[in-house]
Chains A and B, each alone.
Chain A
Amino acid sequence: MFDAIVIGAGISGASIARELARYKLKILVLEKASDICVGTSRGNSATVHSGHDTLPGSKKAYFNVLGNAMYEVLCQELSVPFMRNGTIVFATTEKDMETIYNLKERADANKVPDVQVLDRKGLIKIEAGFGNDVLGGLYAPTGGIVCPYTLVTHTCYNAAKNGVEFLLNTEVSHIKKVNGMWLINTNHGNFTAKYVFNCAGTHADIINNMVSSKSFKIIPRKGEHIVLDKRFANLVKATISQTPTDLPGGGHTKGMGMMPSVDGTLILGCPAYEVEDPDDSSTQENGLNQIINYFVQYWNCFPISKDIPQFPKKDIINCFGGVRAHLDTDDFIIGEVEDAPGFFNAVGIESPGLTAGPAIGRYLVTEAANKYGFEKNFNFYPHYICKKPFREMNDSERIEAIHENPDYGKLICRCEQVTLAEIKAAIHAPIGASSIDAVKMRTRAGMGRCQGGFCSPEVLRILADELGVTPLEITQRGEGSNVLVGRIGCSEKEE
């Protein structure tokens, strides 16, 4: 029996689990996938939005601005790379400039700090190189970038270190109230809890509709992103997008943009369109072409064009899709469900969900704690401390690391400079990596230029060694995704 069960281990579920751990509660997180951070929290633009464009008065606006302000402390506590690089929305027409002033009004209504409308000269002072067509724009200095994988995994690790249990590969099939307790059926048995937190992302409607007559439908929306090589790392600082034709609350996306990542790559994206399948994170030709066509046409507007005159198609290293949980109200649903006391929703968490997630967690858990009188856990330890990645160490730190553990001297992924020590640490982490993708997400091994061409066989072998299984059992990302199909020279019987 648990006090609280959290369904879903994305940014919302992870944040809620960690906040719950501040109280004396027995907590379980259920995740249907083979790893944490696999849904919307994995496939997104890694942006910490300032909140300048969300509809004033909406939950999105409130939690965006609140969440944004939490990031410094949070990322310091959890050893997560985060940078306030600022956000710029540029205008190329007078009509765009009108929208920019509308955005400024929204920003002010949302209490986003220090937002300015700048003319061309002012913009160039912030980021040199805007094209001749750029008239001016909006600058929101609190906009930031974060590594979403590290944020979610370290939030989960910290929760786990504070006693939260995690069950992966566990899918909820039914929930009902029995004798005042929530009974949850899963493929791995039944669990009971006093409180349930629904953070099931694109499946949150199904979970909600199991307990509440107030049903709703998630509309899965997808968008692709394109990743450019690290060689542009120092050429762009701010997150830059063109003025959207529709503002959020009326449009599908914030418009096309160029997002530097904390890891030095440049992310381009992203379109948004509705899809049927809530798990469909595949990339579609149309979506990818939309990005390419946009950037081929508007490349000159972006400051990077001063160094790289044309869209560098050769430097694309990867592309990915992400599904977001959209509701037709275009806002988050956050709170206890009226006709299901003890059941809490964090639903419809699409953009700016990554930014808002930590604030949603704090708000929802505080509400629950106040209402149900949770007892404070004074042993809660807010830090997750880990060694900095080898690629970010200086020479003396590297010497020390190798001296302590010679595995730091064995480079496995050369593109991202990931060592054997770090891969072993990922496998033995509080919620350990058990697949190639899980290692990749935790260490960046395989995320660089060669996309794992050289290191994936080595990562596979390390996984097999560390987990004590044969290489044949190692998967790309969980059950059924085995990388290898048999031994050479053996018939299937011998295997």
Chain B
Amino acid sequence: MQEIDIVIIGGGCSGMSAALSAYKKGVKNVLILERNAYLGGVLKQCIHNGFGIHRFHKDLTGTEYAKKYIDEIDDNQIPYLLETAVLDISKDRVITAISPSKSLIKIQAKAIILAMGCRERSRGALMIPGTRPAGIFSAGTAQKYMNLEGYMVGKKIVILGSGDIGLIMARQFTLEGAKVLAVAEIMSYSGGLRRNIVQCLEDFNIPLYFNTTVTKIEGLRRVSGVWLASVDKHKQPIPSTMRLIECDTLILSVGLIPENELTISAGIPISESTGGAIVNDSFQTNIPGIFACGNALHVHDLVDYVSFESEAAGENAVDYVSSTSPISNDTIRVTEGFGIRGAVPHKIQLNTGKEKVKFQFRPDRPFGPSLVNIYSENECIYSTKKQVMTPGEMCELSVPIKNMKEDIRIEVVPT
């Protein structure tokens, strides 16, 4: 069996960032496994800009952002295998993968970094009633057809959900000559970035309806229309508001789910809140030597933060492999208090010599001016002011560890 120090699963932004940082920190025996025939993952289909402002202080397209990493991977001759799909990871870090050229391979890894990214929530998961015609796409699938394959998916389009990919696609459909008739959002606020609402909808006069959802899909062969309805405060459609919009396409941009089939196969517990692995402040899962980062750990708003996080995970994997990781028997839990969801990390190791821990989370609803407080047991050990917080944007806090004693709780206190 082949032995590798650090195997990175996934060659998207997260995997490449982790591999590069591990390599630069001195572990040369690394390997990226990528199931596609190219590195870069979903960035390759993101031909719009807005990438890299934090990481490179430049406004890049997704493809340009990916290229920076791919070039660096190639310049450093970091090994990767393409068209290689990982089927299984065992508790003792044996990876089983297949590829047409290498057949079935088994790799014993000293450390593994899980960087599989995320997938889109489907129509089936939403249980939208109606027929099952052609013309229903998740936003990312439509993006793939358009930007990687070069085909239009529809002409008269309704978008459900105001997630970022849906907003980006609304603009692109319009630029390519299709008509976006409506964007419907069941919540009273958008799940996307403010800048995307302005640049992708408002600039093109595309109507965005809040508190509105799709209640039924019509059409036998191709979508012929969708029913929109306003929802009440329990998110139930109000029958008197139902209206039929004639269209040939329904695009779903209704949330992303971290990809964790492999994580589960290794027996690693998953957080109900993030949908990703439960990790400590080193991004290490419950299995020593297996780390998780990027959108496989929790869904990020900007790729820049995926890079930062994955670079940290890569360095931590190096520490683990070279037996210099902090060893601590004193671990405390992090819980989500009022107004908080998707908090990472889930556990913090004490007495490791590390000074600060970086928390990432999202508010579970929009907040105006408020405090974000961090409690250790019931004592507030950290507090910071936020003017505005929305679920579409991730929050990050760097908090000193020294005052942490008992279980940690993060909470929003509106002021």
Interface positions of A (Cβ within 8 A of B) = 226-227, 231, 279, 281-285, 287-288, 316-320, 395, 398-399, 402-403, 406-411, 414-415, 417, 420, 449-454, 456-457, 461, 471-472, 475-489
- A316-B134 CB under 8 A given contacts A288-B129, A457-B144, A486-B152: no
Q: Which of B35, B125, B150 contacts A411 (CB under 8 A)? A: B35
- A395-B146 CB under 8 A given contacts A288-B127, A481-B222: no
Residues on B with beta carbons closer than 8 Å to the beta carbon of A417: 87
Q: Which of A403, A414, A471 contacts B85 (CB under 8 A)? A: A414
Residues on B with beta carbons closer than 8 Å to the beta carbon of A479: 221
Judge whether B215 is part of the interface by a CB distance below 8 angstroms.
yes
- A415-B261 CB under 8 A given contacts A409-B102, A451-B124: yes
B131 touching A403 by the CB < 8 A rule?
A: no
Min distance, Cβ B164 to any Cβ of chain A, angstroms: 16
B102: nearest residue on chain A (CB-CB)? A409
Given contacts A282-B129, A477-B134, 8 further A-B contacts (CB under 8 A): A402-B98, A409-B98, A450-B119, A451-B122, A471-B151, A484-B151, A485-B155, A486-B151
Residues on B with beta carbons closer than 8 Å to the beta carbon of A454: 119, 141
Judge whether B74 is part of the interface by a CB distance below 8 angstroms.
no
Complexed CA–CA distance, A486 and B98 (Å): 35
Residues on A with beta carbons closer than 8 Å to the beta carbon of B119: 449-450, 453-454
Min distance, Cβ A451 to any Cβ of chain B, angstroms: 4
- A316-B98 CB under 8 A given contacts A282-B132, A479-B221: no
B100 touching A406 by the CB < 8 A rule?
A: yes
Min distance, Cβ A44 to any Cβ of chain B, angstroms: 16
Residues on B with beta carbons closer than 8 Å to the beta carbon of A481: 133-134, 221-222
B124 touching A317 by the CB < 8 A rule?
A: yes
Complexed CA–CA distance, A452 and B154 (Å): 18
B152 touching A451 by the CB < 8 A rule?
A: no
Complexed CA–CA distance, A416 and B35 (Å): 15
Q: Name which of B100, B101, B119, B141 has the most chain A CB atoms within 10 A of its CB.
A: B100
- A317-B125 CB under 8 A given contacts A484-B153, A488-B176: yes
User: Mind listing 22 A-B residue pairs with CB under 8 Å?
Assistant: A227-B124, A283-B130, A288-B129, A316-B125, A316-B127, A398-B104, A402-B100, A409-B83, A409-B102, A409-B103, A451-B125, A457-B141, A457-B145, A457-B149, A475-B134, A476-B133, A482-B222, A483-B134, A484-B145, A484-B151, A488-B150, A488-B176
Residues on B with beta carbons closer than 8 Å to the beta carbon of A406: 100-101
- A282-B130 CB under 8 A given contacts A472-B151, A485-B155: yes
Residues on B with beta carbons closer than 8 Å to the beta carbon of A487: 150-152
Judge whether B96 is part of the interface by a CB distance below 8 angstroms.
yes
Min distance, Cβ B7 to any Cβ of chain A, angstroms: 17
Judge whether B390 is part of the interface by a CB distance below 8 angstroms.
no
B221 touching A488 by the CB < 8 A rule?
A: no
B96 touching A456 by the CB < 8 A rule?
A: no
Q: B residues 195-248 with Cβ under 8 Å of A?
A: 215-217, 220-222, 248
Complexed CA–CA distance, A479 and B221 (Å): 8
Min distance, Cβ A484 to any Cβ of chain B, angstroms: 4
B99 touching A409 by the CB < 8 A rule?
A: yes
Min distance, Cβ B45 to any Cβ of chain A, angstroms: 10
- A411-B98 CB under 8 A given contacts A283-B129, A316-B125, A403-B103: yes
Q: Name which of B96, B134, B176, B264 has the most chain A CB atoms within 10 A of its CB.
A: B134
A282 touching B131 by the CB < 8 A rule?
A: yes
- A319-B145 CB under 8 A given contacts A285-B129, A398-B104, A481-B221: no
A226 touching B138 by the CB < 8 A rule?
A: no
Residues on B with beta carbons closer than 8 Å to the beta carbon of A287: 129
Residues on A with beta carbons closer than 8 Å to the beta carbon of B102: 409
A495: nearest residue on chain B (CB-CB)? B152
Q: B residues 278-309 with Cβ under 8 Å of A?
A: none
Complexed CA–CA distance, A316 and B122 (Å): 10
Residues on B with beta carbons closer than 8 Å to the beta carbon of A288: 127, 129
B146: nearest residue on chain A (CB-CB)? A488
Q: Which of B85, B149, B217, B222 contacts A480 (CB under 8 A)? A: B222
Residues on A with beta carbons closer than 8 Å to the beta carbon of B146: 488
Complexed CA–CA distance, A480 and B221 (Å): 6
A482 touching B103 by the CB < 8 A rule?
A: no
Judge whether B5 is part of the interface by a CB distance below 8 angstroms.
no
A478: nearest residue on chain B (CB-CB)? B221
Residues on B with beta carbons closer than 8 Å to the beta carbon of A285: 129, 215-216
Complexed CA–CA distance, A487 and B124 (Å): 28
A453 touching B248 by the CB < 8 A rule?
A: no
Residues on B with beta carbons closer than 8 Å to the beta carbon of A227: 124
Judge whether B140 is part of the interface by a CB distance below 8 angstroms.
yes
Q: Name which of B99, B104, B148 has the most chain A CB atoms within 10 A of its CB.
A: B104
B272: nearest residue on chain A (CB-CB)? A314
Q: Name which of A475, A481, A482 has the most chain B CB atoms within 10 A of its CB.
A: A481
B150: nearest residue on chain A (CB-CB)? A488
B119: nearest residue on chain A (CB-CB)? A450
B103 touching A399 by the CB < 8 A rule?
A: yes
Min distance, Cβ A266 to any Cβ of chain B, angstroms: 14
Residues on B with beta carbons closer than 8 Å to the beta carbon of A485: 151-155, 248
Min distance, Cβ B180 to any Cβ of chain A, angstroms: 14
B218: nearest residue on chain A (CB-CB)? A282
Residues on A with beta carbons closer than 8 Å to the beta carbon of B127: 226, 283, 288, 316, 319
B120 touching A453 by the CB < 8 A rule?
A: yes
- What 7 A-B pairs are tightest by C-beta distance, nearest first? A318-B124, A476-B134, A480-B221, A451-B122, A411-B85, A409-B100, A481-B134
Min distance, Cβ A225 to any Cβ of chain B, angstroms: 11
Min distance, Cβ B142 to any Cβ of chain A, angstroms: 10
Q: B residues 245-265 with Cβ under 8 Å of A?
A: 248, 261, 264
Judge whether B67 is part of the interface by a CB distance below 8 angstroms.
no
Min distance, Cβ A219 to any Cβ of chain B, angstroms: 21
Min distance, Cβ A413 to any Cβ of chain B, angstroms: 10
Judge whether B405 is part of the interface by a CB distance below 8 angstroms.
no
A395 touching B120 by the CB < 8 A rule?
A: no
Complexed CA–CA distance, A489 and B147 (Å): 11
Residues on A with beta carbons closer than 8 Å to the beta carbon of B123: 451
Residues on A with beta carbons closer than 8 Å to the beta carbon of B216: 285
- A453-B134 CB under 8 A given contacts A285-B216, A409-B99: no
